[in-house]
Structure 1
Amino acid sequence: MAAAKLAADQSLQSLALEGEELGRKGAQRLSRALLTHGALRELDVACGNIGDAGMAYLAGAIQRSATLEAVNLRNNSIGGSGCAALAEALLGAQSGYGRLTELNLSHNPLGDEGILAIAKVLGQGGAALRDLDLSSARSAAEHAWEQFGIALSGCRLASLKLRQNPAIGDVAAEAFAQSLAKPDCSLSEIDLSFCGLRSGCARLIGAGHSLQQLRLFGNVAGPEAAEAFGLAAGAGAQLQDLDLSRCHLGGSAGAAMAAALRCSAAADVSLQELHLDRNALGAQGVVALAEALGAGCQLRALTLRENRCEDTGAGAIAEALGHNRSLKELDLADNEADGGAGGPTFYDMRYGVSS
């Protein structure tokens, strides 16, 4: 069916086959059709169960394609050998036609072999890749991710998604941070949510001249992460979107984050979005944070869900909003603030946000 679609329309530029269960044979037929098609730019074969054998067939077609720019291979049972075949194809394409800029390999059992294969590609310039997703790659050894981090220094990636990879710990984070600090590193967006980071969170926040978005949701960052952001902001960091939700910040992080926001507001490039959901900031932590939300604050979006801020914290936020002209989005859901005893209601919160 997929091959027939390509054969029937030689001008087709986008082909979506998610959930089609291509299998090995379907991938083989599709690869043959791709070899004779001169217009396709986007290919989505997510959830196609192509496996390593099917990936080997498609790898050859990807290497020879002069038009493919985006390929989605999410959840296809691709293991180490299939990923290695794709990596060799990308290296071959680097000296030939290769135009592939966006690659999604998430939710595949790539293992250490697959991660090291992709690291080899990145270490040799990364072909034309700009957007790479390796979330939930099921790699067990942090050494593989450390090598991957080292390889980032010389590639042209702009966006990297590595969610749900618990083997990425502080050792790997150090390698990532060192690569981010290199002047030729172009990474602007990294998602490391639900990995195995602890002190590595603070290290990553303080690294990278080009980093604009950093998502660390679900790691054990601790209050040191807030302090690291303050230091980074004072040193001229370009960070504009920071997600530290469910990072075990605790109540003491409120004051540290407030100080960081003041540093950011005074910098040339200031933080635009801050996500601090589910961090047990408590009323005192939210009150401390609110002190930085008045005049001069540059934040456009702030989320504080499930932080037990109660009416005291909500009241401090409401008061700060009276002087704030930048905030467009505020989320205070599930904070045990009901407006009792004269406290602010969520209507007051919405009314206070600039529109």
Structure 2
Amino acid sequence: MGGFNQTVVLDAIRRSPDGLSRVELADISGLSAQTLSNIARRLLDEGLILESGKIQLGPGKPRTLLTLNPSARFAIGVHLDPAVITTVILDLSGRVVSHSARRTPQPMDADAVIGVMVEAVSDLLTETGVDARRVLGVGVASPGPIDSDHGIVVDPPHLLGWERVPLRKALSTATGFPVVLEKDVAATAVAEIWGSHSESPENFIFVYLGTGIGMGLVSGGAVLRGTSQNAGEVGHIVVDPDGPVCFCGLRGCVAVTCMPQNLVEEAVRAGVHLGPVDKTDPSAVEEAFLELCAKARRGDSGAGAIIDRSATRVAKAVSVLTNALDFDRVIFGGPYWPMLSETYLALVPAALRKLTVAPHASDIRVEGTAFGTDVGAIGAACAVFDNAFSPDTRSLLLQH
């Protein structure tokens, strides 16, 4: 109980950039003045918070403000995408201290990829001068499926040759830090929760647009991860009944109509000139997809039609979840969001209003992430903080 109460107080201070007095914290947390005072003293002794001035609130003595000490702890986040490996260091406030992006080695040999991750982590620590003793750990956002219990990346369709790779153990051994392994779409959702200064729980869907498409689900301020920690797979939602046959046997699934590779193939068939594309090379597919998006922005009607259709298809997939879960907020992000945002923000809201049956359909909010293309890596680092400092009512359950 003591540990839980401490996380509640620290989380309240973290979400209040201007600081809170002990009296305000007692009101927010429901804790007694003595309990709150003891917790504040422990957090001050650990250097996690600071006394940062006084404020006069009504009659009586001025109250001392307690604020977060951002440099007290750091977390490292690594996002593994088949095309690029993004690495960030966050301070305790969630601010990005530094980041880097490196091409994912091709072919995607697991040892080579892990080597790039380790090098990126080491280089960022050296460049920033962050004391490794203040680093809580490394978070890794990986394509799924993952075996969370054992820290294994199982067999992601876009990571060719990766079969039950013990990524958590390998990265921890090489860096010397504890490692948290998250599915990429779950990590993006964690970034939105941790980075928000809202004090009320939120419900939203995060739509990740990268080499693959996935959706992170948040209910009551908590990420819905599912029994095996692999929630968010939407590849076999049918969005075009007349579309190509999927390897699952259905027609027109997200997996064969909405991924960048599919859109590039569709564009080539429609006569949009993108040059020869090696479909087995994620970097080549990315280059062709970026050219497709650029052509659409420049007014190429053929390219524009492809991107428009992708927005409508993705909206259909999202509507399945907004209807099933009764959500009214959708956040888009991921490596390809900047190239797609103009079209998607123009078309997706209206498509969702048409497809959503709940009474709030007219009020569905569609927005882009505030964390840019680094959202996966930021979410991975936030997962480290989340494990260490976020209130978790499960810790209050009696263990057998």
TM-score normalised by the shorter chain: which range applies?
A: under 0.3
Q: TM-score, normalising length from structure 1?
A: 0.27
Looking at secondary structure, tell me which structure has more strand per residue. 2
Q: TM-score, normalising length from structure 2?
A: 0.25
Larger RCO, structures 1/2 (Cα 8 Å, 6+ apart):
2
